Structure 1
Amino acid sequence: MPGARGVIFDFDGVLVDSEPLHARAFQDVLARYGRTLTDEEYYANYIVYSDREVLERLLPSGEALEAALAAKVRRYQELMEGGVPVFQDCLALLARTDGWRVGLATGSIRHEVERVLQSLRIHDRFAAIVTREDCEKGKPDPEPFLRAAWRLGLDPRQCVAIEDTPGGIRAAKAAGMACVAVTHSCPRESLVGADVVVDDLSTVHLAAVLPR
C-alpha cells in the first residue's frame, strides 16, 4: 500500500534480554548428556537457531532429542519465573511508532512471547506476531519476516526490521527489508549487512532508514 510503513521487531535480544536465559537453559540440559556449551560458543554460533536446531547440532545422532527439547523448554520457563529484563531503549522506540504498522518476528514459541508482551502491557502494540509455530523455516531464512510483512499488509520493502544478530540481519535483508541492528547481544563488528548499527534503539529515526 503506497505510503504505508512497517517496523518488525525481533524478540529475544531486541525487546527482552532473554538470551542469557536461553544459554543457561541449554547449558543445564546439555550437561545431563555430558556436553558443554560456553556463553561465547552460544553467542557466536547458535544464537539465531531454534531450540531444535541447536540441539540437533550439539547432541550426536539425535541422541534423546525430543526429551532434551522438552527439558530445555521447562528449564527456560523456570528461569523466566525470576523475570526477564526488558531493554528500555526498545520500549522507547516502540513508543514512537505511531503511524507505523508494528509487527514481531521471532524464533521463540508463542506462549512464551505472549506471556511477556502481556506482562509488559504492550501486546496490543503489535498488529502481527509471527512465532516459531508459524514458520517452516526460521531465521536466517527470511520466512518469519516475510510472513510478518504479509500479515501487516505490506510489501517487505516498506518495512524496517529491528535485529541483534548476524543471522537475523541476513533474514531481514533476504526478505528485502531495511534493517537496524542493535549491539545488545553481539559486537558491532559482527553486525555486517545492516543498514544502520546502533548501541541504543532510542536514537533510531525509522523514517530515515527506509529507502526513499
Structure 2
Amino acid sequence: MRTSFSAIALDLDGTLVDSYADAEACWGTWAASKGIAAAFDLAQHYGRRRTDIVRSLLPHLGEPEIAAEAEAVRLAERDRTGNTVALPGVAALLEALPDDRWAIVTSNDTEVATARLRGAGLPVPRVLVSADDVRHAKPHPEGFLLAAGLLGVDPAGALAVDDSPSGIRAARAAGMTTLAVMFRHDGATLAEADLIAEDLGRIEFEINDHSLVLRTPGADRGTPYGAQHSRG
C-alpha cells in the first residue's frame, strides 16, 4: 500500500469535527415540528444530503416542499455551532499541513462547513469542495476528483480520510488511498478502507517539502491502529 502522498483530502463532519450534538439538536427540533420525532434517529442518516433525509422521512412531499424543509434545517445548522469541537489530533495536523497540500470534501454545504470549522477553531482550507460544488453526492467520486484537480495532484497519489462507508467508496472510486476514522461507524462497516483508525489523533504523519508520509506501525488493512502525529 502507498504510504507517501502528494496531498490529503479530508471529510469534515465526523472526521475533523464532532458536530453531532448541534446537528442532532437542529434535526430533532425539525422532526418534532413534523410529528416524527419518536421515529427519527440522526445516526441512521448522518452524512447524507438534507434533501435526501427529508425525502426519505416525508415521501409524500413534492420537490419544492422538500427543498424548503431542507433549507430550514440548513439555516438552523449554520447558526448553531456552540457544541461543535475539533476531533483529537486534527488541529495539530491542519496546522502542520501546507495550504496547497490539503482539501476538505464534504457532503455539507459551504456555509455550514465554514461555520463548523470556525466554531471548532479550525482553519478554512483554500480548497473546500462541498455539496454546492458537485452534482453527485458520495459515494460518487466527483467531490474527491474535483478536490484533486483544484490541488493540482493526481488522485492516485493522494490520501483520503473519511468516517463513512459512502465517503470511503467515493474516495476509492476516485483512485485514492483511503483511511477510515471511526466516528458513528465501526471497523466492520468501514472494512472497504485501506486502513482504519479510531481518529486522526492516532495517526503519525511526517510532513516535508515534497510529501506527506503516513507511518503505520503494526497496521493491517481493515485493522484499527494507534500512533501519534508528528511533523517531519
> Aligned to 2:136, what secondary structure does the other structure show?
coil
State the one-letter code of the partner of 1:155: D
Aligned-partner Cα distance in 2 for 1:131–1:203? 26
How many Å apart are 1:157 and its aligned residue?
0.6
Q: Which structure has greater helix proportion? A: 1
- RMSD of the alignment, in Å? 2.4
Aligned-partner Cα distance in 1 for 2:156–2:204? 17
What's the % identity of the aligned pairs?
A: 27
Unaligned runs of 5+ in 2: 206-212, 217-232
> Aligned to 1:145, what secondary structure does the other structure show?
helix
State the one-letter code of the partner of 2:67: E
What TM-score does the superposition give when structure 1 sets the normalisation length?
Answer: 0.84
How many Å apart are 1:196 and its aligned residue?
1.0
Equivalent position of 1:6 in the other structure: 7
Aligned-partner Cα distance in 1 for 2:93–2:181? 12
Detail structure 1 runs of 4+ shifted over 6 Å in the superposition. none
Unaligned runs of 5+ in 1: none
* Residue-pair matches, total: 202
Aligned-partner Cα distance in 2 for 1:54–1:145? 22
Equivalent position of 1:97 in the other structure: 97
Aligned residue runs from structure 1 range 184-195, under 5 A: 184-195=183-194
Residue by residue over 1:36-67, the C-alpha shift from the partner in whole angstroms, topping out at 9 and shown as x without a partner, is: 3443xx323x2221111111111122253233
Aligned-partner Cα distance in 2 for 1:71–1:57? 16
> Aligned to 1:108, what secondary structure does the other structure show?
coil
Is 175-184 or 28-37 further displaced after alignment? 28-37
Whether 2:96 is the aligned partner of 1:88: answer no
Aligned residue runs from structure 1 range 148-187, under 5 A: 148-187=147-186
Aligned-partner Cα distance in 2 for 1:26–1:192? 29
Aligned-partner Cα distance in 1 for 2:36–2:115? 31
Residue by residue over 1:139-187, the C-alpha shift from the partner in whole angstroms, topping out at 9 and shown as x without a partner, is: 1111111110110011111110111111111111111111111112222
Q: Which structure has greater strand proportion? A: 2
What TM-score does the superposition give when structure 2 sets the normalisation length?
Answer: 0.77
Is 129-138 or 64-73 further displaced after alignment? 64-73
How many Å apart are 1:31 and its aligned residue?
2.2
Could you say if the C-alpha distance between residues 158 and 55 of structure 1 is closer, same or farther in structure 2, counting changes exceeding 3 Å?
same
Equivalent position of 2:31 in the other structure: 30
> Aligned to 1:25, what secondary structure does the other structure show?
helix
